[in-house]
Amino acid sequence: MIMSRPAIILFGDSITQQGFSSATNSPGWVGLLSNAYTRRADVFNRGFSGYNTRHAVDLLPTVFNKDMMMTHPNSSTNTLFVTVFFGANDASLPTGEREHNQHVPIEEYEQNLRIIVADIIGNKLEEEQKTPIILITPPPLDEKAWDKYCHEEFDDLSPRSNEQSKLYGERVKLVANDMGCSIVDSFSLLGGNNGVSAYAECLEDGLHLSAKGNELLYEGLMDVIIRDLPHLAPKVNEDDSTGIALEGAQWKDLC
């Protein structure tokens, strides 16, 4: 039986599912995070392509349960932290009778996020335990590039807008503030406030992240971990007073 390490759970849509590598086969944000926590924690990718928060709520019983939330010395639970990264699909524009409409109204989106956070918090063994949660806003959207990609790949459109992504991101920040979660503002990190020329190179197809976008998201996530959860950041030097150390002794100490 393989000895278990503390877990990091990444819950999201296709930007999480595809997070181990980008389309150019360079490391994605999930792959970079996994590398940072090598021999320290096991990263569980629970990304579901095409899913919105309505779908995510239905998945909660299978993704999160008390067996995943057992105690670990460095955190209050066996799960070091959870990221929740939904909204790119919720923020798609309502298109009437179009089949497979992923749009979720913004008020429902906010409520779904609150349900997700509350469920994760509720999966604890003791009253004082609380699994750290990091919410991630939807990234910016290159509308022309995304329309072009959808037309070429599917001969159909999945209308979205950068402004809509920003609005949904503001709800993520609101939920994070109200419920004591950390926040990674991927919209700002990737330049969403600075015009399409600033963020187009961060997107592979107008929506999903390119190599640069993945790197920026990873760096932003690590900055938040170091700032808000320093005891859960990878311990780089033996002299560091806090952080997650490598499992096992150094090989030189064994020879």
3's CB contacts (< 8 A; 6+ apart) are: none
Give the type of residue at 106.
I
Q: What number of other Cβ atoms are within 10 A of residue 181's Cβ?
A: 23
Two tokens, residue 3: 């000895």
Residue 231 is a catalytic residue: no
Residue 26 is a catalytic residue: no
Q: Which of 119, 147, 205, 228 is catalytic?
A: 205
Return d(Cα 192, Cα 202) in angstroms, integer: 10
CB 131 within 8 A of CB 79: yes
DSSP string, 157-218: -----HHHHHHHHHHHHHHHHHHT-EEE-HHHHTTTTS-HHHHGGGBSSSSSB-HHHHHHHH
CB 244 within 8 A of CB 80: yes
Q: Which of 14, 21, 161, 188 is catalytic?
A: 14
Residue 205 is a catalytic residue: yes
Residue with tokens 């790119």: 88
Cβ-count burial of 93 within 10 angstroms (0-12 exposed, 13-18 middle, 19+ buried)? middle
Catalytic residues: 14, 205, 208
